[in-house]
């Protein structure tokens, strides 16, 4: 099978394991990142290294972005030596980043106007382990024909790939994902606090609740890390805060009341303010440790 040649801009916590996965699956990947250690790790795995996003575009059929902030996406796409300076039809851009819904739509419209090329918003859920295993959950928005063009690629990186509609629809779905995820991190932290205070074996709660209404992927995967106080980042607290701020703005614009996610937003603002921005999102548990300390 002829696989598309890929350019990949942003190979950090999520992008690097995805790049390794793509290389293992036989894709030719040219990578670009501002951190040299990341590009060297990708080179060691078999990737070609580009000095700029524009260089990563050359020779690629599909260009992938996986960046931490909207500003980083804008710079990589439209800055000097950005993707838009080199992209030409029939090349296609797929953005795995999480940006504001209206920003994503504006980026797609701008790219189409400047280059004639399509932009698929394809935010992801599942973290670095799912990137490495090819089991990500991907929600997509964009032109239907262009989404179909990337479906074979998604089969190699995603356990579930769901087109949600026109440009921005994938990002809207990601906001709902982050609503559920943000609240769940706080709830799981409280569950650990309560289990330990009750004097029961907190580590056995996922086993005890398996198959019931409280069971979930996060109970299985995140809760044990909180019990173990393992806060090595699989997703940064600052990133979830960024997403919850976006969610708050998005819901406000729609006049959709979200009191639970508002509480999660307050907790993550506090967590980052206290200096835990670079820890895993599960480190919200530290707020409960501090509250309970003498």
In angstroms, the first-to-last Cα distance of the chain is 63
SS (H, E, C) 1-26: CCCCCEEEECCCCCHHHHHHHHHHCC
**Do 58 and 86 touch, CB atoms closer than 8 A?**
yes
Helix/strand/coil for 188: helix
Which two tokens mark 143? 């032109």
| Three-class DSSP category at 173 | helix
Q: Mind telling me the catalytic residues? A: 174
Q: Quick one: DSSP state of residue 212?
A: S
The alpha carbon torsion through 21, 26, 28, 29 (nearest 10 deg) reads: 0
* Radius of gyration of the CA atoms of the chain, in A: 20
CA distances from 239 to 13, 59, 166, 272 (A): 11, 32, 25, 10
């Amino acid at each position: 099978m002829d696989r598309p040649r890929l350019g990949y801009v942003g190979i950090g916590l999520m992008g690097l394991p995805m790049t390794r996965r793509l290389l293992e699956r036989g894709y030719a990947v040219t990578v670009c990142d501002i951190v040299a250690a990341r590009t060297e790790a990708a080179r060691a795995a078999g990737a070609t290294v580009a000095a700029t996003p524009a260089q990563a575009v050359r020779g690629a059929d599909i260009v992938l972005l996986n960046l931490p902030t909207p500003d980083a996406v804008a710079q990589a796409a439209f800055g000097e030596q950005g993707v838009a300076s080199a992209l030409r039809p029939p090349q296609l851009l797929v953005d795995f980043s999480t940006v504001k819904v209206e920003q994503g739509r504006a980026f797609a419209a701008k790219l189409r106007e400047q280059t004639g090329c399509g932009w698929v918003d394809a935010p992801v859920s599942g973290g670095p382990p799912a990137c490495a295993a090819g089991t990500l959950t991907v929600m997509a928005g964009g032109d239907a024909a262009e989404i179909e063009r990337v479906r074979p690629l998604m089969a190699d990186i995603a356990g579930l790939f769901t087109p949600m509609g026109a440009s921005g629809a994938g990002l809207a779905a990601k906001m709902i994902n982050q609503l559920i995820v943000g609240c769940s991190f706080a709830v799981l932290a409280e569950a650990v606090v309560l289990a330990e205070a009750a004097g029961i074996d907190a580590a056995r709660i996922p086993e005890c609740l398996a198959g019931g209404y409280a069971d979930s992927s996060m109970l299985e995967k995140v809760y044990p890390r909180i019990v173990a106080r393992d806060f090595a980042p699989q997703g940064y607290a600052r990133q979830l805060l960024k997403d919850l701020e976006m969610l708050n703005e998005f819901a406000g614009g729609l006049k959709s009341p979200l009191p639970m996610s508002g509480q999660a937003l307050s907790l993550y603002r506090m967590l980052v303010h206290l200096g835990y921005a670079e820890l895993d999102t599960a480190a919200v548990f530290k707020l409960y440790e501090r509250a309970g300390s003498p």
